Structure formats: structure tokens, C-alpha cells
Amino acid sequence: MDVDLSTGTVGPLAKLTPDGEQAIHEASLELLEDVGMKVDYEPALDLLEENGCSVDREERLVMFPRELVEDAVEQAPSSVTLHARNPDQTVTIGEGAPVFSPCGSAPNVLTYDGGRRPSTLAEYEQFVKLTQMTDTMTCSGYNHCEPNDVDQEVKHFALMKRAILMTDKPLKGESWGADRAEAAIEMAGIANGDRDLSKPYVIATINTVSPRTLDAKMTGGLLEYANHGQPTMISPAVMAAASGPATLAGTLSLGNAEILAGVTVAQLANQGAPVLYGLPTSNVDVRYGSFSIGSPEGALCVSFAAQMARYYDIPCRAGGGLTDAKTVDDQAGAEAMFQLMTAILSGVDFIHHSAGILDSYSTSSPEKFVLDCDRIEYIKRYQAGYDINEETLAKDLIEEIETGDHFLSQRHTLTHSKDFHIPDLFYRDAYDNWESEGGKNAFERAHERVRELLDDYERPPIDETVEQELDAYVDERVETIRAGD
């Protein structure tokens, strides 16, 4: 046999036919051209009107010509390299392996020994440390949990500064408003010794307000990132049966239209500005009115996002270890594994909320963080597949072993069993051994792993001059904000 085959080359999951892709595209263009989007930010309205959109200033309603939208999508790059201050941590989004970013924006934290409670800056720091200490996470993330003990007017400085100093991985930054976006971008430039921002250093999420609204704060952030050549993830969180139709086809065509509107604004601001097709969309459980991010419908939306991003030839962002469970239990593990597997096998390029998220985005857990990392490594091993060649088919060895005998003592077994995946936390030893070691469940073992990682954490080095410049920038900006109160 003179060919070397790998099952890891098998293509991504897909739930849409080519005709289905085209139908969604056409429906979205008709929405933008005939129904329109509300754009609640004056500079964006000016930009759109100058480029041929029909703009109702009183209603702030914009009709997007089909050709303008399709041209904008063509201008968006198919990948973006996100540079880290440690060059070894630099990642490319849209080429090959997905980038994993941890939990974000939850106002609560849940731990094995402390239960559920409002999160603080100290707990945010723990998540940043865990991100640095786990190879599975390849982007630092932002706002892993809300620091409820920090002045909200200046919290973005506290979060961004810690992300820069406590990790050396690529950065995710604030986008809520042009002023906060500017601060995140400038701090990323300082951290990388490049105040002129000659490269992409920081990525941000831009959420639309469904149905059909680009609000002032997020649109301001979008323009700020686009003008500086920094990537954004246009991310409508349409809720089927609430902020979108109860049918997934209707909800997805609406979300697709909102993404295309955001892409158009970014490209009109700066042709070639990197953008990601983001779709943190799912359904509402109509029994309770709750956003069900761990549902099968949510997984279908993830698969849709990856497929439509390939249709438009731009990178994709979707959710990862999502769950509606309230604690670290069987539901949390099952839903997170299902959502992660869908995202990875569908070919999502940037997987946000990869680790640690609980309770429909409202809680972050360090124990679930490390368990999710184990889940991701399981799926990566599955996705890698296996080689098929003369050595791995092992025909001669199979012929050599007598029927009813075993392969344990063979050199071939010793060599190739090293390829088997060994998890950090999932327990495989005998029951008696598990019992003698305390009979610990996954939550308990994860708690011990968190403590080990935090105890072993060391802050990555940073140039002293850069740190001083960062401190001075933050001090000056915070003082200015507080003086204006």
C-alpha cells in the first residue's frame, strides 16, 4: 500500500443543502433591501447613506441595496491572524484548528466549596490564570465573570489590564461603545509595543439587538475596531419564539441578515477589516420564557453558522460548552459535550464560551472550566481520527497472534498505545481504587485540579517599560472619567 490515509481529513458536519444556503441568503437580502435595519448611531447612518443606502433619519431605518451587501461580503477576509505579545501564542482564525476562548459576561460564579454568588474581580483573576495555565484555551477571553465589586464606569480598564499582564495569549476586548472600544484597542497596542496597530491584536464581540437593530453602543464599537483593522465577531443572539420567529428557518434568516448588515458597516468603514460570522442563537423554552443555550436547536444554529460562514468565505464564531444547568452535574456535562462537539465537528473557527459557562450564560464555574477543557481534548482526539497504512492495519501482527491470545506484550502495542488519549480528570481506574481514593465525583476532582493550576500559576514576563506605559495610560484614563462624574 503506497497511500497514507487519515480519517481526520473527513469534511465538517453540515445540515443545509446548497439550495438551503441560497434560500437563507436570498431571504436575508430581501429583509435588508425591503424591510431594513434600524441603525441607532449617527456616524454609521452617514456612512450608509453616503454609500447608496436609503436612510429614514426619523426612524433611523436603513434599506441596504443587495449589491452593496454582496460587495461588502466579498471584501471581508477569509481569515485573520490574531497576534499575541508572546509570538508563540499567536493564532490564525479561519485556517485549520479552531481557536478556543473561555466563558464570558456571567454576573455570578459557582464553585465547589463556595456555591453560587455574585462574582468579583478576584474571581475574574482566577479565570484569567486558568486560561493562561491550560493549553486548551488559545485566546484569553474577556470578562470571564462580571466584577460586581468594581465601578462599572472603569471596570473595562481593570479587566483589560489584567488580561494583558496575567496572560500572554491573544486578547479579547470591550466593545460596548466607541470610547471603551478605543481604550481596549489602545491598551492592546501598548501591550504589543505597537501603538499604531499595524497588526490585529484584539478581537471583540458585536451583538445586534434582535429583531433588526444595530444599537448606538455596539455600532460605535464596531466602527472603532474596523477603523483600526481589529477583528470583530458580528453576533446576533436571536431567540427563536421571542426575538425571532419560532421556526428556525425564520430565526436564522433574520440572524443572517443582521450579520450581513454588520459586515457591510465594517467594510464601508475600512475595506478588508476582519470580521467573523457569529451566531450565538438558540430557542426560548416556551414553558418558562428562558433562553435555552444547551438545546438541540442551539446546536443546529451552531452548525448553521459554520456552514453559512463557509458560504460567505469568512471565519465563523459560535458558542462552545453551553448549558442551561444550574450546577456542575450530568445535565451540564451532557449539554456542554453536545454543544462543543457540534461546534468543533461543524468547523467553527472561533469557539467562545468554550469552558466554564453555566446557567444560560448567567454563571461561570472554574470547576466546569477544567472539565470543559477535558471535553474539548476528547473531541479533538476524535476529530483527529486515525491513519490507515500497512503499519496501522497490522496484518502481519494479527496473523502472528494465535486465536484467543492477546496483543498486550507486543512492541507494536507499546508503540501505538501511546496515541490513546489520556484525560486529566475523567476517571477510568477500577471501582475499588476510586473508592479507596475517596470516591470523589467529577466536581470534587475538578475542584482539586483548579487549586493545583492556581497554585502553579506564574505571571508571564512582560517588559517593564511596557507595563509602566500601560499603568500610566490606565491611571490617566480612569482619572479623566472620574473627574467628569
Residue 98 carries which side chain, given as an amino acid letter? P
| Structure confidence at residue 485 (pLDDT) | 65
| Structure confidence at residue 1 (pLDDT) | 44
Mean pLDDT along residues 348-366: 98
Q: Which domains does the chain have, with CATH numbers?
A: 1-485 (3.20.20.480)
| Whether residue 336 has pLDDT greater than 70 | yes
Nearest-angstrom CA–CA distance, 159 and 150:
10
| Whether residue 8 has pLDDT greater than 90 | no
With cell 484597542, the residue in question is 185
Rounded CA Rg of the chain: 24
Mean pLDDT along residues 43-47: 98
Q: What is the pLDDT of residues 260-289, one digit of tens each?
A: 999 999 999 999 999 999 999 999 999 999
| Structure confidence at residue 130 (pLDDT) | 98
Q: Residue 4's pLDDT band (boundaries 50, 70, 90)?
A: low
Residues 6 or more apart whose Cβ sits within 8 Å of residue 104? 141, 142, 143, 144, 172, 352, 353, 357
Q: What is the pLDDT of residues 447-472, one digit of tens each?
A: 999 999 999 999 999 999 999 999 99
Whole-angstrom CA distances from 243 to 29, 126, 246, 295, 455 are 19, 34, 9, 17, 44
Mean pLDDT along residues 200-214: 98
Q: What angle do CA 346, 132, 118 make, to 5 degrees?
A: 85
Q: What is the pLDDT of residues 380-427, one digit of tens each?
A: 999 999 999 999 999 999 999 999 999 999 999 999 999 999 999 999
With cell 454588520, the residue in question is 262
Q: Residue 467, Cβ neighbours under 10 Å: how many? A: 16
Q: What is the pTM of this model?
A: 0.96
Nearest 10 degrees: Cα torsion 286, 333, 299, 232: 100
| Whether residue 2 has pLDDT greater than 70 | no
Nearest-angstrom CA–CA distance, 372 and 370:
5
